[in-house]
Structure 1
Amino acid sequence: MTTYLSPSTPAAAVQEPVPTGPGARARRRRPGFGWLRRWVSPVAIVLVWQLLSSTGVLDERTLAAPTQILATGVEYTASGVLPEAILASLQRVLLGFVIGAVIALVLAVVAGLSRIGEDAIDPPMQMLRTLPHFGLITLFIIWMGIGEAPKVALIALGVVFPLYLNTFAGIRGIDRKILEAARSMHLTRAQRIRHVVLPGALPQALVGLRQSLGIAWLSLIVAETIAPQTGLGHMINQAKEFLQIDVIVLGLAVYSLLGLGTDAIVRYLERKALAWRA
């Protein structure tokens, strides 16, 4: 709507319309320190933990104090043991995740875009996802030995199913009217997949991505119990032999922080890729 001014109309009388709705609220939001609230409860837990350790309620032979774990982390970082272990574990997770993600996305696209593909792919995927994949460790060792292959395979298997299920559901959840509109615009099949199907399935696929990353780190913890020679699992196993509780808890804490870090990266990508949803 256009506003016409007469020469006698005062400038103060003309006001710009105030945007409303969720998008407008997001645009009007001022930067603050709300993100600090997410750290209140973790910091409180660590402080209580330290207090219980300092007062002797928690025996250091059962659970090391946070200050002791921090000192061990500094020592292992300075000696190069911790960075080397983290690098080895990251390489395993990255390789297993890439393999599992590629398999999941290819299968989800084929099953989601074709009834024949769905009939061929979805039933065995639904059957296999009910298997506890950690129970396949013995078979993986028999088939692949005790090297890197069974570790990577276990991680990849953990990644496949949540990413496949969410991407498949995202593709099938696209409004048929949008697809019909794309056909009426004479878009080719490849163009429909690129401009309609993939963007429409992206929100659900990113949910599956976050779930897959979480399971990838859980799978890594189990995988690194298979005759580890490097990685955080190797460091924890060595500490277990000498009852080094602080080293064991340090390794578990690093696993947790790495998982939180990768999840934060995906959440950042989600905010950027789905900015239009605001």
Structure 2
Amino acid sequence: MAATEETLALTGRDSQPLSASEPASSERPSDPLRAWRYAGLALPFVFLAVIEALVRASVLPGHLVPAPSSIAQTLWDLGGARLARHLGASVARVYAGFALGSALALLIGAAMGLSRRVDALLDPAFQALRAIPSLAWVPILLLWMGIDEAPKITLIAIGAFFPVQLSVVAGIHGVDRKLIEFGELNRLTHRAMFTRILRPASMPQIFTGLRTGLSLAWMFMVAAELIAATRGLGYLLSDGRETGRPDLVFGVILLLALLGKLSDGAFKAIETRVLSWRDARHISGDAQ
């Protein structure tokens, strides 16, 4: 007993558990990347301020590179209602095309990933179709579907389809063989093998493909709105080019960048929530 008391005295411990009021380990560590994130948010504004100063100092020609203040004034002069109509038309087309293209890509990609026969049958054709530029689809879509909304949404769906399909196939094919053997040892059915092993293990790569497909949907939207569109950011971009207004062209480009960033940020938040079970290096906060 004396030895036990002496040991407790030397270690500074007693037999009572730590109270809940004691801090130490319960405090969450501060984010070491917070300052870098703030700097990343401020960087575009610093860049715009530098461009503004260079244009005002006549270092950059204003008729080719308009000042950001002139761009903001141009967007303001368009009017909130008119600008909202163009933004709404483009956003609706992007998300309609992305939903259609990604849904088909998830189904077909899963079939190709799970079946070697389906993969061998469809992969050569998809490899060839993936290499076709976006504008090359425009004449055939106009011929088949006319000039209404259908060819625009179809072109955006084509742009979103291929990165998602490729990521689904690669994600399923890239599942660790040991996980599959573990499922086979436990005699999982084909459905249980897919839902409990293959799908969770491939989800990180699938989300990467979905985010890539969404960014390509915005790019294909500009090409889609060149198909006899009367509304949308692509229409404003074409109008600014034809009328020689670089302020309008750069304004639309900045709006596209902003919308792309917001949509990708929202999708990234969904990814973080859905894949919160991951124990990856980036997630755990290890950074240098």
Runs (4+) of structure 1 moved beyond 6 Å? none
Task: Write the mapping of 1:68-87 to structure 2, written as runs, cut at 5 A.
Answer: 68-78=70-80, 80-87=81-88
> How far apart are 1:242 and its partner, in Å?
3.3
Cross-structure match for 1:191: 192
Cross-structure match for 2:271: 270
> How far apart are 1:13 and its partner, in Å?
4.7
Give the whole-Å Cα distance in 2 for the aligned partners of 1:194 and 1:177. 16
> How far apart are 1:84 and its partner, in Å?
1.1
The answer to whether the Cα contact below 8 Å between 1:134 and 1:154 also exists between their aligned partners in 2 is: no
Task: Give the partner amino acid of 2:116.
Answer: R
Give the whole-Å Cα distance in 2 for the aligned partners of 1:115 and 1:249. 47
The answer to whether the Cα contact below 8 Å between 2:225 and 2:234 also exists between their aligned partners in 1 is: yes
> How far apart are 1:154 and its partner, in Å?
1.1
Q: Which runs of 5+ in 2 are unaligned?
A: 18-24
Q: Give the one of 32, 35, 42 matched to 1:33.
A: 35
Per-residue CA deviation, residues 121-179 of structure 1 (Å, 9 max, x unaligned), is 22211221122232121111111111111111111111111111111111001112212
Give the whole-Å Cα distance in 1 for the aligned partners of 2:5 and 2:78. 77
Give the whole-Å Cα distance in 1 for the aligned partners of 2:94 and 2:190. 34
Cross-structure match for 2:20: none
Task: Give the partner amino acid of 2:97.
Answer: G
Alpha-carbon spacing, 1:12–1:273, altered in 2? closer, same or farther (3 Å): farther
Give the whole-Å Cα distance in 2 for the aligned partners of 1:139 and 1:88. 23
Give the whole-Å Cα distance in 2 for the aligned partners of 1:50 and 1:150. 39
Give the whole-Å Cα distance in 1 for the aligned partners of 2:273 and 2:96. 25
> How far apart are 1:6 and its partner, in Å?
4.1
Percent sequence identity is 30
Q: Give the one of 61, 65, 72 matched to 1:59.
A: 61
> How far apart are 1:230 and its partner, in Å?
1.2
Cross-structure match for 1:242: 243
Alpha-carbon spacing, 1:83–1:119, altered in 2? closer, same or farther (3 Å): same
Cross-structure match for 2:105: 104
Number of residue pairs matched by the alignment: 263
Task: Write the mapping of 1:58-207 to structure 2, written as runs, cut at 5 A.
Answer: 58-78=60-80, 80-207=81-208
The answer to whether the Cα contact below 8 Å between 1:46 and 1:66 also exists between their aligned partners in 2 is: yes
Cross-structure match for 1:19: none
* Range 57-66 or range 135-144, more displaced: 57-66
Give the whole-Å Cα distance in 1 for the aligned partners of 2:150 and 2:100. 12
* Range 214-223 or range 115-124, more displaced: 115-124
> How far apart are 1:104 and its partner, in Å?
0.9
Per-residue CA deviation, residues 43-79 of structure 1 (Å, 9 max, x unaligned), is 232112101111123333222210111122233343x
Cross-structure match for 2:215: 214
> How far apart are 1:90 and its partner, in Å?
0.4
> How far apart are 1:237 and its partner, in Å?
3.0
Cross-structure match for 1:47: 49
Give the whole-Å Cα distance in 2 for the aligned partners of 1:223 and 1:173. 34
Task: Give the partner amino acid of 2:73.
Answer: A
> How far apart are 1:7 and its partner, in Å?
4.3
User: RMSD of the TM alignment (CA)?
Assistant: 2.3
* Range 154-163 or range 265-274, more displaced: 265-274
Per-residue CA deviation, residues 72-116 of structure 1 (Å, 9 max, x unaligned), is 2233343x1111111100000001101110111111110111112
* Range 142-151 or range 174-183, more displaced: 174-183
Task: Give the partner amino acid of 2:121.
Answer: A
Cross-structure match for 2:22: none
Alpha-carbon spacing, 1:224–1:196, altered in 2? closer, same or farther (3 Å): same
Give the whole-Å Cα distance in 2 for the aligned partners of 1:6 and 1:100. 70
> How far apart are 1:204 and its partner, in Å?
0.9
The answer to whether the Cα contact below 8 Å between 2:89 and 2:232 also exists between their aligned partners in 1 is: yes
Per-residue CA deviation, residues 197-248 of structure 1 (Å, 9 max, x unaligned), is 1111111111111211121111111111111111112223333443332222
